[in-house]
Amino acid sequence: MNPSTSEVRAAVVADATPARCADCGAPVTGHYCANCGQETHIETPTVRHFLREFVDQYIALEGKLGRTLRVLLTQPGQLTLDYLEGRRQRYVRPLKLYLTISLLFFGAIGLLPDSMTNPLARIDPKAENQALFEFKQDAQKDADLHGGAADGVATELGKKLTDRVERLAQLPAEEQHRLLRAKLANDAPYAMFFLLPYFALLLKWLYRKQRLRYGAHLLFSIHLHCFAFIVLAAGFLPLPEVVRTRLDWIVLAYLFFALRRVYGLGLKSTLWRLAALYALYVVAITATAVSGILATVLGGEVA
């Protein structure tokens, strides 16, 4: 049975009418919408579809994650430079990259808080003991200073602090270290939300003559910390001690070359800025670690 003239005309009109994106309604002619980027061929997703999409986008060596990691690990600063210059589609977005890597890193720390392969296990017990001793001395001095006011708030606070330090000191050394390291491991992800923008602020101050926006420095900070997490994760492996104790040197060398590539200053200008960054950042990390120790003492971790 031959189609009628009206049916043929309707088919011709339908073919001539441009297809439209199911998401934004814009006319489309290819496999993707030029307006919003959505696929034009829509079908009910299956488990196989989700797995293939995940592998293609993130795991495959030619996918975004593989390409992003190669540039991040082998070309210090290039990932930041590419993003600032507009080459973004080929890489995983900075915040998504940071969240993925930091989640894996801190998740591993949480699973292995007491393992000798844990980077936090390298905290010097002598430093912990010294911090506790100094804290106890300060609390005792405060109590002695206000000894005349038996009902004073400062005296009561000093007594409580001293009591908590005493109870912590009575625990076995291994238990003390376990409590402190567990506290640092739990607080580390939250501390990074302070340290990341802090590091970017240092960059903005040290490179203020470059007149870059704060967002550019924050982008550099995100990429640097992603690299640092990956390198420090090598501390989970049974590497020789001489290698494990030099992981921070690798990060420092990477930072030097990244600064040279992104900010473009000379050797001497980069070196003194590197030294300032290192010193000020170590101060911030130390303050964060000390606050973790104090939180352990003041909090409910010590029964």
Domains of the chain, residue spans:
1-42, 93-298
Q: Under 8 Å CB-to-CB from 170, ≥6 apart: which residues?
A: none
pTM: 0.66
- Tell which residue, 36, 203, 236, has the closest CA to residue 122: 236
Spatial distance between the Cα atoms of 94 and 221, rounded to a whole number of angstroms: 10
Six token digits for residue 132: 């506790």
Spatial distance between the Cα atoms of 177 and 128, rounded to a whole number of angstroms: 8
DSSP string, 2-66: PPPHHHHHHHHHHHHSPEE-TTT--EE-SSB-TTT--BSS-----HHHHHHHHIIIIISTTSHHH
pLDDT by residue for the chain (303 residues), tens only, comes to 555 666 545 544 444 445 788 778 888 877 788 788 777 777 777 777 777 776 666 555 557 888 899 999 999 999 999 999 999 888 989 998 998 888 888 777 766 655 444 444 444 445 455 555 555 555 555 555 555 444 454 555 556 556 665 665 565 656 555 555 665 666 667 777 788 999 999 999 999 998 899 999 999 999 999 999 999 888 777 777 777 778 889 999 999 999 999 999 999 999 999 999 999 998 888 887 666 666 655 555 544
